[in-house]
A and B are shown apart, each in its own frame.
Chain A
Amino acid sequence: MMNEDLTSEVAQARERLLKQLEQLTDKPAVLRSPDLRALYQRIATLPEDQRGLFGQAVNQLKNELAGLITEHQEAESALPPVDVSAPFALNSEPSRRPGLLSAAMGSRHPISRELELILDIFNGMGFSVVESREIDDDWHMFGALNFPEGHPARDDYDTFMTEQTDTNGKPLIAPAHTSSMQNRVISRYQANLARNEPIAVVIPGRTFRNEDVDARHEHTFYQVEGVYINKGVNIGNLIATLKSFLQSYFANDSLSVKTQPFYFPFTEPSLEFSLSCPFCNQQGCSICSFSGWIELLGCGMIHPNVLKEAGVDPKEYQGFAWGMGVERIIMMKYGIEDIRHFESGKLAFLRQFSAGGDS
């Protein structure tokens, strides 16, 4: 219990502060009042058993004042209520009621637009579409993908983690790749295999990396994952599928592709996939840095441990998977110079993708 003297000290200060609040035109100034400051300074001078209680009382008072200030501000700016069930405002002429805008200025986001195009091609090839998550657990991000606990390969993924944890007590994760959906889609479409149909799914979604942002790097970006599983799937199937997609996307049947070995724990073999530059037909241009090739995506044959985790027998079935960044292709296609424009919300950028142009 706080002793009576102190209780009344706080009560008296409260009276003074409330009076000040009433008189002040700049209401938030009350929080800077010498009376309030004096109360805080008083805490250190008190005997130890009283300090905590007194401190609490002072904080409570401060919160009360803050609440009153907000209330006042809301009241100041209060507007008369409206009849929310009405379809339009009272006393309004039909011609002056605000409505829709000019179709010419509307736009879909270039990423959405391009994703629709990409997914349409894959859908036409027989791939189902499932969207990825924006928050996931450690197991889907790493465990299900053959990254053992604490494995150094995890260092290649600068993942954001949350204070809140999953059921195993591990931080939740902002997925650094759409591959965190692989286990889910393989499980979800497993019945296909029994029907002698492949599992064929593409997974668009947002992914996140803890890396510094500049004109070419974003912490938030989009990927399209692909998973294909069946009996007797081979490496050439993977290359042919991606090549066929890219030829369709760039509407150019003469594009060629090449691969380089890579390492992902969840594919074996793992490949990095490059496309002959569709912008210069390998004559050399600034987009391909005059190399004639553009590195596009990572891919590989799904690791047997990943299949096993999802309940598919790797002796019987094989598959391939890929993960492709979306922004870079769009930037190349439209000549967008800075990746940060995508999530800037700037209409000057967005309306360049409208029918009427930037207006």
Chain B
Amino acid sequence: MKASLAIMRKLAVNAASFPEDVASVEQHIGAQIGAIEDKQELGPLYQDALIVKVISAMPIEGSDHLSLCQIDDRQVRSDVERGKDGLVQVVCGAPNVKAGQIVVWLPPGSIVPSTAAGEEPLIMAARKILNQVSNGMLASASELAISADHSGIVVLPEDTAYGTKLSDLIDLNDTVFDIENKMFTHRPDLFGQLGIAREVCATFGIAFKSPDWYRADNYLKSSLSGSLTVANRLKDKACPRFMAVSIGKLKIEPSPLWLQSYLSRSGIRPLNNIVDITNYVMLVSSQPLHAYDLSKIGVNGKAELVVRDALPKEKLTLLDGSEIELSDEDIVIANQEHALGLGGVMGGRDSEISDTTTQIVLECASFDMYRIRRSSMAHGVFSEAVTRFTKGPSALACPPVLAFAVDLIKHLCPEAEVISEVADERNDALVQELPPLSLDLKLLNSYLGIELDQAEVLSLLKNAEIEARIEDQKLVVRPPFWRTDLSLDVDVIEEIARLHGFDQLPQQLPQRLLSVPSIDAIQITKRQLRAALAAAGANEVLSYSFVNKALIEACGQDPTEAYKITNALSPELEYYRLSLAPSLLSKVHLNHKAGFDRFAMFELGKAHQVGQLDSEGLPLEAERLALVVSAEAKSAKGYQGEAFYQARSWLNYLLGTLNCDAELLSLRPLEQADLNQETLWGAAARTYRSGRSALIEVNSKVLGVIGEFNASSTKALKLPPFCSGFELNLAFLSELSVTSARQYQELPRYPKVIQDLTLPGSSKSFSELSNQLKLELKSLMPKDVIYALSAIDAYQPANDRSDVSWTFRLSAQSSVRTLTDREITDIVEKLKSKF
């Protein structure tokens, strides 16, 4: 939202004063109205532009378009070459230059305003054109950055005084602030310069009073009848008010320069006097208006307008040239035959104002902001009107705004006259002031943290033209008609706090009891894991929650199980991930390629799967830890054994860091598990390689999956052969760290005996063997002996899985006596004989 100080100053005619210091206005807007995104100082751009008179303009020989002009600046410019007559010579290429015109001169040394924002601003100089010295140039509206018109130089009315600065004539000693729109979402009034002028004054403690015309009872009068009717046939209450009036004897021409300049500095392109007036009145008041060419919508100066729901498939060509197909969600303004415009959004091209227009219908209406928004979104049509109507401006503003617009038309086209009655189709129940609000002063003071003086409260509000009084320790506020946001007591509190200044309130920390704040156990576990894995050389990765279809499929998963984003930024980000491994795997190749030959990456994140819901009935958010270890071929040469066992060693480490014993784990080959039964792990498991992966269980409950990755993901993601990983249920891990923590054992006082035993070759799996071994050991070992058993070696003759011999190391010590080697050797021998 652009706010021009010059326009605001004009609108503050009835205010006690208007702040002059630009820097403090800027500071006040920023602190009490809204963040300033940008600021443009117009003054410096136009400081040298002078209004001059063309005394003579003669064609230059040898050129088909240049004229040699002598101009009179009343000699106000001192640093310029003059003839004996005191005139300045300028070469002008504009076809419309003539002796006697009042024009705008950019003397040598001045900047061409339209180039000021560019990389190389153009500075005027005295230079020779076809052997004639040109001292600067005569400017077009386009060069002055006032409109797009570059067909000729700007020609001002004959009676314009010359020898004066252009900036004085059209109020260019101005600063335009661009305030962020977002903070005005609830303040339709601040989409008009009038609203911002009011706020600026209020923040300076200046009592603002709106201009005389801005009163709800300023109602345009007409004694005519029978030439303009409006009927509202909407299915709902989406058009609370529709006012219109016809005006005749118009002459369409460019607007005066001041009006064009007010528009262009506010970011609106000037077109012609009527359209410019509708836009200017909107800029000032925040109430959009629309003008139709009466000859194109009515017959013999009479028009019958209808506000109705669009018909299904009805077509309409908008002002911007786009043709849209409507639905009954759209509001159209129509005559008896067809739609003329998309109500509240954009007018239609058929009834556009043109050079030949002499009569218009001027519309000033109010629409439901929800319906305007839907319509605008459905067609992708955005306009200044949409920006404002979607904030819900008050229908009570329509009469004064219409009256003001008609006054302005009459001012610019003195011949113009109202040629119809003033149509005012309205739903009285919806055209109402908001009810008065009553606010407990205690609540106000509680919010503010101070006792504001009652007189001060009243004056803060009064400065912003909000009527208020104190009644029985209550503040009674009557919201002015333009303040549609004041509907709750807190809205008034906001107003008072803001006008007082949020930063002026006392800043004190809340007082509290020394109770212990809670932190979820899973978060503590996450911290532990993060620290432990980093300490083991792994790198924590955060990757997007969204993945693409190809990745899901390459990882063996089913995209139909994944939540699908309908408005994804790109197909790369179309699905919620079913597990974390695919995200990590997609980062493996790029890192090897970048020269990292071995690494471990892990991520703590969430997985989602369609159909799995939590206690709220929302998608279950499965908290996971995933880890991938990878070594490219060369560095993997140093390793012996399959990649599977590297993941396994990380898994054991990880449990240890949570103070759990790896003995808790039971690993079952994935191909033996029914993945269709494992609804929580099916998707994650499918990324792993058959024969080299396992379901990890603790007490028959699944903790996660571990292994090498399947052929399709290996191929698609260019994984090296030495790559493996796991994915675990974080909540379960967290639970284990509490329920299955290792117990301390008292240190024995007697020496330890250590012996290795190698079992004969067998086809049994390691777990079968070690379970059996432990069982036997338990029955053989005396009760007073504390012992530990760990595998230290496994030997298999060339490629014979049926002949694997495992070596274990047994360490034993007694808490009551010294064990002898003999004793343990006997036990070991007995053990061996059992296999």
Contact = CB atoms under 8 A, between A and B. Distances in A.
A151 B370 contact: yes
Contacts of B391: 152
Contacts of B649: 87-88, 97-100
A350 B652 contact: no
B824 interface: no
Interface string B482-526: 000000101101100110001101111110110101111001000
B667 A84 contact: yes
B542 interface: yes
A271 B502 contact: yes
B370 A233 contact: no
Contacts of A91: 640-641, 794-796
Nearest to B724: A98
B540 A109 contact: yes
Interface in A221-275: 228, 230, 232-237, 239-241, 243-244, 258-263, 265, 268-272
A36 B259 CA distance: 72
B684 to A, nearest CB: 16
Contact of A263 (B184, B490, B600, B621): B184
B567 interface: yes
Nearest to A235: B505
Given A123-B519, A236-B507, A101 B449 contact: no
A301 interface: yes
Interface string B749-767: 0000000000000000111
Interface string B672-712: 00000000000000000111111000000000001110111
Nearest to A222: B542
A278 interface: no
B346 interface: no
A96 B640 contact: yes
A101 B692 CA distance: 22
A177 interface: no
A164 B561 CA distance: 11
A147 B766 CA distance: 61
Contact of A84 (B35, B503, B563, B692): B692
B31 A258 contact: yes
Given A269-B497, A346-B590, A259 B502 contact: yes
A301 B497 CA distance: 12
B780 interface: no
Contacts of A84: 644, 667-669, 692-694, 706-707
A212 to B, nearest CB: 7
Interface stretch (A49-57, A133-141, A331-339): A133-141
A133 B693 contact: no
Contact of B536 (A100, A167, A244, A345): A100
Contacts of A198: 510, 512
Given A98-B639, A236-B507, A135 B563 contact: yes
A81 B692 contact: yes
Contacts of B336: none
A240 B509 contact: yes
Contacts of A85: 666-667, 694, 765-768
Contact of B641 (A98, A172, A263, A295): A98
Contacts of B537: 100-106
A38 interface: no
Contacts of B601: 345, 347
Contacts of A342: 542
Interface stretch (B266-274, B406-414, B568-576): B568-576
A118 to B, nearest CB: 13
Contacts of A135: 563, 576, 608, 618-619, 621
Interface stretch (A2-10, A17-25, A71-79, A282-290): A71-79
Given A234-B447, A345-B541, A348-B594, A131 B523 contact: yes
A164 to B, nearest CB: 5
Contact of B544 (A162, A303, A343): A343
B539 A197 contact: no
Contact of A103 (B493, B535, B586): B535
B600 to A, nearest CB: 6
A144 interface: no
A70 to B, nearest CB: 7
Interface string B409-440: 00000000000000000000000000000000
A48 interface: no
A108 interface: yes
A261 B707 contact: no
A259 B604 CA distance: 36
Given A77-B715, A160-B565, A116 B527 contact: yes
B567 A161 contact: yes
A162 B566 contact: yes
Given A108-B534, A269-B494, A346 B715 contact: no
A89 interface: yes
A130 B644 contact: no
Nearest to B766: A86
B517 A212 contact: no
A261 B498 contact: yes
Contacts of B631: 98
A200 B509 CA distance: 13
B61 to A, nearest CB: 55
Contacts of A41: none
B538 to A, nearest CB: 5
Contacts of B530: 108, 112
Interface string B789-816: 0011111100000001000000000000
A80 to B, nearest CB: 7
Contacts of B67: none
A136 B608 CA distance: 12
A323 to B, nearest CB: 14
B31 A171 contact: no
Interface string A117-129: 0000001001111
B483 to A, nearest CB: 14
Nearest to A202: B517
A235 B563 CA distance: 41
A77 B711 contact: yes
Contact of A172 (B494, B510, B563): B563
B594 A89 contact: no
A165 B480 CA distance: 43
Nearest to A256: B503
A261 B691 contact: no
Interface in B262-286: none
B650 interface: yes
B564 interface: yes
A163 interface: yes
A269 B31 CA distance: 13
B79 to A, nearest CB: 34
Contacts of A128: 517-519
A34 interface: no
A210 B567 contact: yes
A89 B507 CA distance: 65
A26 interface: no
23 contacts: A74-B711, A83-B766, A86-B767, A86-B794, A87-B766, A98-B645, A99-B649, A103-B535, A129-B517, A150-B370, A152-B370, A164-B610, A198-B510, A220-B546, A235-B448, A236-B449, A240-B508, A263-B184, A265-B186, A304-B490, A345-B587, A345-B601, A348-B596
Interface of B: 30-35, 182-187, 369-370, 373-374, 377, 390-391, 443, 446-449, 488, 490-491, 493-494, 497-498, 502-503, 505-510, 512-513, 515, 517-520, 523, 527, 530-531, 533-546, 563-569, 573, 576, 583-584, 586-587, 590-591, 594, 596, 598-601, 604, 606, 608, 610, 617-619, 621, 629, 631, 638-646, 648-650, 652-653, 662, 666-669, 689-694, 706-708, 710-712, 714-715, 722, 765-768, 791-796, 804
Given A85-B667, A103-B535, A133-B618, 9 more contacts: A81-B690, A88-B641, A88-B649, A108-B530, A134-B545, A135-B621, A237-B509, A240-B507, A272-B183
Q: Which 6 A-B pairs have the closest CB atoms?
A: A89-B641, A101-B537, A81-B691, A345-B587, A234-B449, A85-B767
